[in-house]
Structures are given as structure tokens and as C-alpha cells.
Chain A
Amino acid sequence: MGARGSHSAVPPDADSIRRETGFSQASLLRLYHRFQALDRDNKGYLSRMDLQQIGALAVNPLGDRIIESFFPDGNHQVDFAGFARVLAHFRPVDEEDPGMQDPKQPEPLNSRMNKLRFAFQLYDLDRDGKISRNEMLQVLRLMVGVQVTEEQLESIADRTVQEADIDGDGAVSFMEFTKSLEKMNIEQKMSIRILK
């Protein structure tokens, strides 16, 4: 996507980023090009604005939340390391090729748990470690669209929470969240092939 070669071809401290994220050289380079393309003013970091300018994200119901996930802890900018770190969640899991993963790190960013955690924090707006009914409702509202009435949405939210809620506290904790998805092939569903 455009703008290649106008900047330095190699990302700064590529090695440490690679070690952390597990990206291959080629992927990292590719991401770096993309990062530079998004970084319109050559700031060296991305702001929310930069990401919001990606047209397709504007029509993605979860677009804003995903943009937000690039800026943890209320930051206003994300450097390439942070950028790569977020995207590393979507690196495919190589079961056959453990060499790709650093054995010292017990849980690489693209592990099942981390993939799930990424999804979970999209729901959990207030970061209290729980998806409340209200948070569930908000996500549903984003995803379901206008044809379903508010009342129906609420009942869906109720049911969804209840379905996953094991301890009966009326909210879905991360453990309950993973449990509700234990049958799903997360490794496969939350991976993008090109992010090897």
C-alpha cells in the first residue's frame, strides 16, 4: 500500500520487536511500510486520527474500539513497537513450528489466551475485568443494527450474559468469556495469514 521507500526501510530496533512479537522479517518489514504509510506526517508514531483515516474502519462497527485498542492506558500515540505488538495478536499460531516462538516467553502474544484477551478488552470498556450486561448491550447495539429493537437487544444481552455467567454475578469475567468460547477454534478464527 503506497508510500514505500520514502522512509528508512528497516524499522528501528527490529530485532527486539521481532523477538517480542514473533513476526517474520518479511512481515515486520511489511508492517513497517504500512506503519509509515499510515503515519502521514512522518511523526514516527500514529495518532488516532491516522487510524481513523482508514476508510474501511469507519464502516466497521467495532472500528473505533479496535483503534482504541492501539492506544492503551489513554495514550495518544503509538509507535511502531506498539503497533506491531497489537497486530501480533493476530499472528497465526504455528503449532508445527515452535522455533518461531521464543521458548523463554511462556505466552507469546498470539497465544489463544492473548487473542481472547484482545477480544475481551474490546467488550470491557471500563476495564474492570468483567463484561457487564450494559457493556454487552453496547456491543450488541453496535453489531446488530437497527432492525432489531432495543427491547430485543436487551433480551439478547440478558441471555448472552446469563449464558456465559457461571458464578451468577450478572457479568462475564474473562474466565467465563474463555469458557464460553472453549469449543471455538480461536487460534484459527483470530489469525490473519499474512501476519506470519
Chain B
Amino acid sequence: MLRAALPLLMLPLAAARAAEEPTQEPGVPGESPPGLALFRWQWHEVEAPYLVALWILVASLAKIVFHLSRKVTSLVPESCLLILLGLVLGGIVLAVAKKAEYQLEPGTFFLFLLPPIVLDSGYFMPSRLFFDNLGAILTYAVVGTLWNAFTTGAALWGLQQAGLVASRVQAGLLDFLLFGSLISAVDPVAVLAVFEEVHVNETLFIIVFGESLLNDAVTVVLYKVCNSFVEMGSANVRATDYLKGVASLFVVSLGGAAVGLVFAFLLALTTRFTKRVRIIEPLLVFLLAYAAYLTAEMASLSAILAVTMCGLGCKKYVEANISHKSRTAVKYTMKTLASCAETVIFMLLGISAVDSSKWAWDSGLVLGTLIFILFFRALGVVLQTWVLNQFRLVPLDKIDQVVMSYGGLRGAVAFALVILLDRTKVPAKDYFVATTIVVVFFTVIVQGLTIKPLVKWLKVKRSEHHKPTLNQELHEHTFDHILAAVEDVVGHHGYHYWRDRWEQFDKKYLSQLLMRRSAYRIRDQIWDVYYRLNIRDAISFVDQGGHVLSSTGLTLPSMPSRNSVAETSVTNLLRESGSGACLDLQVIDTVRSGRDREDAAMHHLLSGGLYKPRRRYKASCSHHFISEDAQERQDKEVFQQNMKRRLESFKSTKHNICLTKNKPRPHKAGHKKKDGMASVEAINKKPRDLGFQDTAAVILTVESEEEEESNSSETEKEDDEGIIFVARATSEVLQEGKISGSLELCPSPRVIPPSPTCAEKELPWKSGHGDLAVYVSSETTKIVPVDMQMGWNQSISSLESLASPPCTQDPTLTRLPPRQLDVDEPPALLDLSSDPRPTFAFPPSLAKAGRSRSESSADIPQQQELQPLMGHKDRTHLSPGTANSHWCIHFNRGGRL
């Protein structure tokens, strides 16, 4: 890390030197006649921003270097590393420049570095959790900070009275109280930096972190009051001043919060009207939040509180109003800025510590402070928790208290405040600075390093990351309503009562006022979870290879209603794809935690089966392959036509059951990714249904297609991602139908053992490949469980009243494996990577040359074998046109070749 940082650091220094030297030289005559300089060095013009940029760059590079090693960052918190780096850099600067430069200036810190961090934490604060624990947070923030400040200050004073602090530290009780007030506040930056890596449970985190944010008001007030008392001199402080001090606590805290809420309101209101200028939405968020911070700072209110409340208050409405992209932009910019600021703060802290001119060491003071802050923090936490636990539903246990005591990290706020002290008024400033630096370093480095092992050792409940499910969301709402109702019945106006009130107020007035109408409409939490789940489904579905759905996922935010049909089918599909009750798609990806192996196998088949729609869809998206796509579409149409006819013939016979059973389906399937859906649904139905029921499912979706097509075509006009419209293709379809009708040789579904239905379903959209028949059949033998094969056989026999010669299955299977191994075995991977290209990127002839080869090898033997069966089967039960479309397609292709 040093090597990376060093040259960068040298650059500005060298540049500064270089810039300093010429300033003395221009006096030399003849050296610089006013001519056109080819090269001018203008360091001074860019110095300030250049240095800022460089420091941020150094800090970021350091961060990268730290994270190169996972081991280091898992053991050592980043903040420690940054402080240490800062120390080293500070040493180098000191050595090179002979004076300490680039320190943490309180002005810079409070005006530029702190706001992003606080905004980030306020904006992304889990508000529910925060308000659930508001009582505890406020107690710790107000009472705890006051307690810490006074006890630490008083104890230090006592230490001095006892003669343990050297007499050269000239400080009275007020000075020590002032010092106590600045050293007592738990620092949000440090807490965030350390706790983010520790992952304690949410309640614990929100209490410590919320405390660190909200105690700012107390710190500011205490600091200001003590400071002015010190400046006035203890003799001049009157009783009214104490009262004023207490009053100012309320003014500063409530005022800060009020400023924040006003700006939150403004921000929410502004974003309501940015529909036409989406691009400035993220900027507005930052500007108004920053304005809140500056306004509060200007009125000497608690700026941290202001920006926290601003972030907390505006989030709901802003998120609803701004566009999806703006949301992402806000999120990332905020995180980037915060992390940047945090990095720079810790590094500058390290650098600042090097400046020995500010230091004045007194061991008694330093040690005393360290011990006292730890001791009184622990004592304060225990006392407060004891009181709080009388009122808390979930008491904070001892382990929590240990972590809370130990997690009271001090940080840059204390340092900035101590630097701000006036040496003329506070003669012991240098001692305080040194002590503060030691305290900050100790808490960040020692406690930061040890808190993780401690948490592990104490077995503190860790935070569990689980994605929200619809059930949880819905039931959570139910619980809230139940609790509110029970509170009503009990007649106790408690927390749930007020939350309920607030929610109703929000729904009735605030949301109406602050949210865009369109946003308000879709802004329901349950709907929101539903929506996000679907997005996630869609995304991971795409990751799995089903490219079809991506457009659906992306168009959702603006128009949720029209996509709901499609979404449902996504859900069906994914659910049935082996995820069982668990809709967490990461689980689907990695763990085959489906219901059983069968499901896993189904999932496998699914991912294999989905690559085709993707390819096809790609083509239909692109304008370059229209003709190709049209061909594909024709194939599909042929298939659908055939299926439809076949269904009609089935309808009249014995398969009414499956029809009724499948009837609910069609309205779910369809839409733009209909064919993909159909295939998948069909496949997924397999475990439960028998062979030809699948067929029925497919056909039904096809039948329902017309109306849905019209629906979807209407809706999809809005976004230009619509696809597949059959209207144009009908004539071709008819032709194709004739062709297929003429091919009476085609084997019936029976042909491809053991699961023709599967093949049928696969084929039309996998139809580019002759060997797919092989793939599907062999694959299904592998994955379709034995009982299903039996089911299949039964359905066949009931349908066709013809016992199938067992020999027809075996030869096919035994013969096929060799090819299937290299082409089809890893279906998802291989097919995805290799298949789409030949079909679309290469001229058709090339792609099909390969295909015809496979066709000839795969098709012919099967036909030969099965032709004996074909004759009356087709005539009795299937109309000529219903011959297996797979085969038709191949014949068509052959013809095209």
C-alpha cells in the first residue's frame, strides 16, 4: 500500500517545491523574457483542488490495496488500516516537508466530510427499526451522553485534585467538563466503520448507531455551553446561564430535527415535479440535504440531526417519486461520497496525529481519560439498560450491554472539536488534543480490532440476512394491524397505536401531497415487495439464461398493472422450477434445495430449456436478423397450429380432465414470453401430470394467445420492447401447416421415447437443432422419474390403444448417448454459449449444414423404427396436420436448405 501511495504523495509535494522555487527566480534578469512559453507550470492555480483530488485518490487506492487481501480486511477494520496509513503518510510528509501538512481541519471536516456520511446513514437508516427502538436510542443519546460528559469531566477533575495529573495541565472543573463533553460523544463515523463489518444483530446496531447520530445535538450543546462558560470564566456564570444551557439543548436538538424535516418536506415536494427533468433528481436529493445541513449549522443547531432527519423523512417519498435510475444514482453516489469521506477522515486523522507541535503529553491525563471513558460508558450503559429494560418488550441482555459499552467508539468529531478549542481560553488545549488523539486511536484501533473477536466470543446474535418474502411482508402488516387493534381493545395508546395513527395520516395527507399520483398508486409496501421479488426473479431468471424476461422486469416500475399477468407466470415458472417454497433465487442458483432431486432435475431441464427463447428473443430485439427471426416464428406458428389441432382431436376423446385441469393456466402464461413460458410450464407440470396433459397445457396457452397477443400488443406499444406478433405470420403459418400436413410420414408424439411431450414442447423454440430431439429425449430419460415414465406410458396406452414395443425405446436410447454427451450434457452452458451464434451470426446455410447432418443421423433411424407404429395411430387419433411438429419443422428446414 505504501508503494502505491508514495509516488502519489510525493507528486504534490515535489510540485509544491517546484512551484515555490520559481517564485523566487523570476527576479533573475534575462532568464524570462516575455515569450511564448511552450510549457508553463501552473501549480498554484490548481493546487487546492488538485490536492483534494489527490488525497481522495490516495485514500481510494489505499482502500483497494487493503481489499486485495481478504484476510487482512476480515481481521482488521478498514478504519484501523486507514488510520495507520495516515500515520505513515503523515510521517513521510513531515519528513519531506519538514512541517506537518494536510491535517484534518475542523472546517473541512464539518462542512464537507461529515455531511455525506450522515446523509448516507440517515437516508438508508432502516426507519422501522429506528422508530421501534427510538426510546432506547434517545435515552442513550441524551442521558448517556450527558452522563458520560459529566462523569468523565468530574472524574478527571478529581484526578487532578488528587494530584495524579501533572500540575502543568492548567485546567479547572469547567475545562475538564468541556473536555468531557467533547470526548464523551460516541462518533457516528467510527461506529459505522467498525459495526458495518461486525454484523451484530440489527437491534444492537441501530441502538449504538442511532445513539451516535442523535447524540450530536447533546454534544454540540454541551460543547458550546461549556465553551462559552469557559470563555466567560467560571466566576461569571450565573444560574440563568445553566437554565439557558438546558433550554438550548432543546432548541438545538428540536430545531435541528425541525430544519431537517422541513427540508425533507421540500425535497419530497420538489421531486414530485421532476417528471420531465429526471436527470436532476439525484442532484436535488444531495442539494437539499446539504442545504439542510448548512442551514442547521448556520443557525447553530444540530446539523447532524438535521441531515439525519432529512434523510429519514424524505426517503419514502423521494424513492417513490424519482425514477428507477435516479434511485440507483442516488444510492451509489451517496455510498461513494460517504465511503470517500470516511476514508479521507480516517486517513487525515492518522496524518494529524503526527503533528507533534500540537501535542502535549501527560500520562496521568491520558490514562485517566482512557479508563474513565471506558468505565463510565459501561456503567452508564448498564444503568440505563436496567431502566430501559423495565419498559422494553425485548430486554437488552448482558451481552448486548457489553457490546454497547465496548462499541462506544470516539472518532473524528471529538478530534475536530478539540482542535476548535481556543488556546488562549483553554490553556490545557494541547494536553486535551494529545489525549483526544490517543483516545480516538485507542477506540478505533484497539477496540475496533477486538470487537469482532469479542462479538464472536460472546456469541452475540448476528444479523440474519434474509430476503423479504411476500408472506413475511403481508403477515408483518397483519401483525401490525392486529397489535394496533389489540391496543385499542386494551385501551392503551401505545406505540402501535401511534404508528397506526401516523400511517393513516401519512396515507391520507402526506403521501397524497408529496407523492406523484402515479407513484402513489403503486406505492404500497406489499405491492412493493411483490414488485421487487419479481424484479429479482426476472433478473436471476435472465442470469439462468432465460433472456426473455428481462424486458418485462425493466418495464415494471412504470406500469405495474399490465405486467402482473406476466409476473405471475414468472413466479409460477420459477416456483415450479424447483425452488419449492423458497423464492430466494440465489438459492435456486446455487443450492438445489428444492423439494427433492426431481425438482433439481426439473430445474436443470428448465435452465436448459430456456436458452432457446433467449436466443430467439435476442434476434427479435435486434433489427439485423429480422428474416431469421421470421423463420423462427414460422416454426413456432407451425407448432402451435399443430398443437391446436391435436388438442381439438384430444378434446373429443379422453382427455377432458387435463383440459379442465389446465384451464386456469392460460391467463397466466402468454404475454411476450409466452412460448418460453409454455415450454417451462409444460415441463414443470410434468412431475404431477401425465404426458399428454402437458400437451394440453401448451395448446391452451396457444389458444389463449390471440387475446393475449392483442393485450400485449396494446400494452407493449408503450415500450418499444414488444415482440412477436403473429398477425403477419398467419399466411405463412397456413402454408407451413399444409406442409406439415403433407408430411404424413411424420412420427407421432409417440416417436420420441420416453417423453415425446417434452420434446414437443422443447422443439418449436429449440427447433433450430435437429439434435434437440435427441437431447430432450435422452435428457428426459435421465431426469424424469420412473413413476412418471410409467405415467407417460399409461397415458399413451390409454390414448392410442396401442402398446408400444419396448424395443423402440431402448435402441434409441442406447444409440444416442455419444452425441448427447458432447452436445447436450451440460445443456445450459453449452447451448447458451455456442448455439445462439451459429444460428444468428452466421449465414443460415452454415448453421444448417451442421444441422442437417445431425438430422439425418438422428431422424432417420427413428423414423425407420417407428414407422410401423405410425400408420393407423395418426389416422385414428390425430388429424394429418397434427403430426409431430418437431419433425415438420425439420422437414421444413430441410426444404429451405
A contact set with B: CB distance below 8 Å: 1, 30-31, 34, 37-38, 51, 54, 56-57, 59-63, 66, 70, 87, 90, 92, 96, 118-119, 122-123, 139-140, 143-145, 147-149, 151-152, 154-156, 158-160, 162-166, 168, 176-177, 179-181, 183-184, 188-195
Q: Are A148 and B474 in contact (CB under 8 A)?
A: no
Given the complex, which residues of A lie within 8 Å of B484, measured CB to CB? 56, 60
Q: How many A-B residue pairs have CB under 8 A?
A: 169
19 contacts between A and B (CB under 8 A): A38-B489, A38-B491, A57-B488, A59-B504, A66-B486, A87-B486, A90-B483, A143-B474, A149-B561, A154-B564, A155-B565, A159-B571, A163-B471, A181-B472, A184-B475, A189-B476, A189-B483, A193-B391, A194-B492
Q: Within B441-476, which residues are at the interface with A (CB < 8 Å)? A: 464, 466, 469-472, 474-476
Given the complex, which residues of B lie within 8 Å of A184, measured CB to CB? 472, 475-476
Give the CA-CA distance A192 to B470 in the complex, in Å: 24
Given the complex, which residues of B lie within 8 Å of A183, measured CB to CB? 464, 466, 472
Given the complex, which residues of A lie within 8 Å of B583, measured CB to CB? 163
Interface string of B505-523 (1 = CB under 8 A from A): 0010000000000001111
Q: Are B482 and A163 in contact (CB under 8 A)?
A: no
Give the CA-CA distance A151 to B488 in the complex, in Å: 33
Q: Are A31 and B478 in contact (CB under 8 A)?
A: no
CB distance from B724 to the nearest CB of A (A): 22
Q: Are A51 and B481 in contact (CB under 8 A)?
A: no
In this complex, the member of A37, A155, A190 whose beta carbon has the largest number of chain B beta carbons within 10 angstroms is A155
Q: Chain B interface mostly helix, strand, loop or mixed?
A: helix
Q: Are A62 and B478 in contact (CB under 8 A)?
A: yes
Q: Chain A interface mostly helix, strand, loop or mixed?
A: helix
Q: Are A155 and B564 in contact (CB under 8 A)?
A: yes
Known contacts A34-B491, A184-B476; is-contact A152 B564 (Cβ 8 Å) = yes
Known contacts A66-B482, A119-B479, A143-B478; is-contact A54 B394 (Cβ 8 Å) = no
Residue of chain B at shortest CB distance from A46: B489
Residue of chain B at shortest CB distance from A33: B491
In this complex, the member of A57, A59, A156, A195 whose beta carbon has the largest number of chain B beta carbons within 10 angstroms is A156
Q: Is B560's beta carbon under 8 Å from chain A?
A: yes
- Selected from A144, A164, A168, the residue in CB contact (under 8 A) with B527 is A144
Known contacts A147-B522, A156-B527; is-contact A162 B572 (Cβ 8 Å) = yes
Residue of chain A at shortest CB distance from B583: A163
Given the complex, which residues of A lie within 8 Å of B507, measured CB to CB? 145
Q: Is B393's beta carbon under 8 Å from chain A?
A: yes
Q: Within B394-436, which residues are at the interface with A (CB < 8 Å)? A: 394-395
Give the CA-CA distance A148 to B561 in the complex, in Å: 8
Residue of chain B at shortest CB distance from A89: B486
Give the CA-CA distance A152 to B528 in the complex, in Å: 11
Q: Is B575's beta carbon under 8 Å from chain A?
A: yes
Residue of chain B at shortest CB distance from A186: B479
Given the complex, which residues of B lie within 8 Å of A166, measured CB to CB? 580-581, 595
Interface stretch (choices B177-185, B493-501, B779-787): B493-501
Given the complex, which residues of A lie within 8 Å of B478, measured CB to CB? 62, 119, 122-123, 139, 143
Q: Are B500 and A60 in contact (CB under 8 A)?
A: yes
Given the complex, which residues of A lie within 8 Å of B524, measured CB to CB? 144-145, 147-148
Given the complex, which residues of A lie within 8 Å of B572, measured CB to CB? 162
Residue of chain A at shortest CB distance from B511: A147
Give the CA-CA distance A172 to B492 in the complex, in Å: 33
Given the complex, which residues of A lie within 8 Å of B92, measured CB to CB? none
In this complex, the member of B470, B492, B533 whose beta carbon has the largest number of chain A beta carbons within 10 angstroms is B470
Q: Are B526 and A180 in contact (CB under 8 A)?
A: no
Interface string of B160-181 (1 = CB under 8 A from A): 0000000000000000000000
Give the CA-CA distance A122 to B485 in the complex, in Å: 13
CB distance from B100 to the nearest CB of A (A): 51
Known contacts A90-B483, A147-B523, A156-B527; is-contact A140 B571 (Cβ 8 Å) = no
Given the complex, which residues of A lie within 8 Å of B469, measured CB to CB? 163, 180
CB distance from B344 to the nearest CB of A (A): 39
Known contacts A148-B522, A166-B581; is-contact A190 B482 (Cβ 8 Å) = yes
